[in-house]
Structure 1
Amino acid sequence: MAYQQSPQSRPPRPAPGSGPLSRRLMWPAGAFLLGTLLVYNSIDTPTDPKPPQSRPAAAATARNAPLSSPPLTRSIPKRLAIPEIAVDAPFMPLSIGPKGQLNAPPANDTNLVGWFQGGATPGERGASIIAGHVDTKTGPAVFLQLRLLKKGSQISITRADGVVATFKVDSVETFSKAQFPNDRVYADTPDAQLRVITCGGTYNRAAKDYESNVVVFAHLASSARK
């Protein structure tokens, strides 16, 4: 998928309140700008995503969204904690690669998650995108049990400003990569939301790719300074 503008230039974020794994992955860029977007697990097979079609409106998402806490100001995430599935991992920023795709966290670190630094930071208005590996060539990775979360599960993110943003899970769903619901997952939101993405479903050995993606949908429930 082609990025809608130069990967080197980060689009301006609106003022607060104004209203995507196995081995080496390549994620199409523009999680918050959207278009035709799939999360890929690619070892030997290069991807050539198509350019985006249009940015989905946030109206339907806003009507159906749960009540969230007021959004926070922008601050980069430092650590992710999901006690229910024993996740306690540091963050690294994910950027756009030369092919217009979002680079994945390195596969040699199984306890590392990434966030798309061109989009909303966790707790900021919009849908913040977090992704990590389900496994690597060396074994299980940070999001091995992501699919086991359920409605009401909590995700806490410690930010650089000292605030811990706590998100409550609304749903955990598995989507075929061939029919990934881009509009639903990546649409802009009027409040602070979170999307946590990893690979899942059946592993296709011929394609060296998982056939599905697990997506956790969550909203900002509370925030407190450490």
Structure 2
Amino acid sequence: MSGPSPEWSDPVPGPEWPGPEGAMGRVKRWWVVAAVLILIATAVLALRSYQESGDPQLGQPSVTDTVPAPSDGASGPAPVALRIPALGVDETLITLGLNPDETVEVPTDFDKPGWYKFGPAPGQLGSAVILGHVDSYEGPAVFYRLKDLEAGDSIEVSLADGTIAHFAVTKVETYPKTEFPAEEVYGSHGDETLQLVTCGGEYDADARSYLSNIVAYTSLVDTDSGEAPAAAGQK
């Protein structure tokens, strides 16, 4: 039986073969994109890990030596705020104690200085100590410029009873952490002093720690009454 012969449609055109050189170029581009994505992901995970770990070695003002035996409690009203006009510092204070290994705790907030509660309150007989971080992964912290203080610069500490204790810087010293003079900084020497402590010197990237401590020594000038700062959330 005869009839019209079937008509065959033209084949649907497919993708053109780019040739070996074009294919290799495309593969190389994909490898570059993948490598960049891996690097970005690694950097994000590393930063997140660092932020979550809260590694205290960065800007940690703790000491390698144990401090003098703590007293049962500081005499006098507790300090609530610190002001250093020369550095533009005006911050409320947190309270610090001791770690299980008898080193001093460090502030968990890089922008807040902390008062060592087992020593005297600023303005009382003995050595009061306030510690603060020098920097963090975000940049300078509260005591970043502590090393720039000069003899005669004023330090003001507001106390819980409204009193303001005025101190003057006597000297600023840098010590290797392995030679930190704990007794000189924390011990009582027969007068009213205040020491400010942070990190400094060379930075060890592997240990994520500075190799030295900076200490600003001050002595009491006078005290006066003032209005106690309002607690957070109060006016």
TM-score, normalization by structure 2? 0.66
* 4+ long deviations beyond 4 Å: 23-30
Q: Distance in 1 between matches of 2:151 and 2:59?
A: 28
- RMSD of Structure 2 on Structure 1 (CA): 2.2
Displacement, 1:187?
A: 2.6
> Following superposition of structure 1 onto structure 2, how do residues 1-226 of structure 1 map, counting pairs within 5 Å?
22-23=58-59, 26-27=62-63, 31-33=67-69, 74-106=76-108, 109-226=109-226
1:36-57 deviations in Å (ceiling 9; x for gaps): xxxxxxxxxxxxxxxxxxxxxx
Could you tell me how far apart the structure 2 residues matched to 1:98 and 1:132 are? Answer: 20
Percent of residue pairs identical = 34
CA deviation after TM superposition for structure 1 residue 137, in Å: 1.9
Distance 1:124 1:31, change over 3 A: farther
Matched-pair contact (CA < 8 Å) for 1:31–1:129: no
Report deviation, 1:26.
4.7
Distance 1:25 1:181 in 2: 13
Number of equivalences: 167
Query: Deviations along 1:78-111, whole A, 9 cap, x unmatched?
Result: 11000101101110110122332222111xx332
Question: Closer, same or farther in 2 for the Cα pair 1:24/1:200, shift >3 Å?
Answer: closer
8 A contact 1:29–1:102 mirrored in 2: no
Greater C-alpha Rg: 2
SS in 1 for 2:203: strand
Partner Cα distance (2:176, 2:99) in 1: 24
Q: Which has the higher helix share?
A: 2
* Contact 1:126–1:189 under 8 Å retained in 2: yes
Q: Secondary structure at the match of 1:99?
A: coil
Structure 1, unaligned stretches of length 5 or more?
A: 1-20, 35-72
Q: Which residue of 2 aligns with 1:53?
A: none
> CA–CA distance in 2 between the matches of 1:221 and 1:97?
32
- Please tell me whether the aligned partners of residues 27 and 104 of structure 1 are also in contact (alpha carbons under 8 angstroms): no
Q: Which has the higher contact order (CA 8 A, sep 6+)?
A: 1
Query: Residues 176, 131 of structure 1: CA spacing in aligned structure 2 closer, same or farther, 3 A cutoff?
Result: same
**Are the counterparts in 1 of residues 66 and 182 from structure 2 also a CA contact under 8 Å?**
no
SS of alignment partner, residue 167 of structure 1: strand
**TM-score normalised by structure 1 residue count:** 0.68
For 1:154 and 1:174, locate their aligned partners in 2 and report how far apart those are by CA, in whole Å: 20
**Which amino acid is the alignment partner of residue 124 of structure 2?**
E
- Structure 1 or 2: more strand by fraction: 1
Given the superposition, is the C-alpha separation of residues 214 and 80 from structure 1 closer, same or farther in structure 2, using an over 3 Å criterion?
same
1-structure distance, mates of 2:123, 2:161: 12
Which runs of 5 or more residues in structure 2 are unaligned?
A: 1-56, 227-235
Could you tell me how far 1:177 is from its partner in structure 2? Answer: 1.2
1:54 paired residue number = none
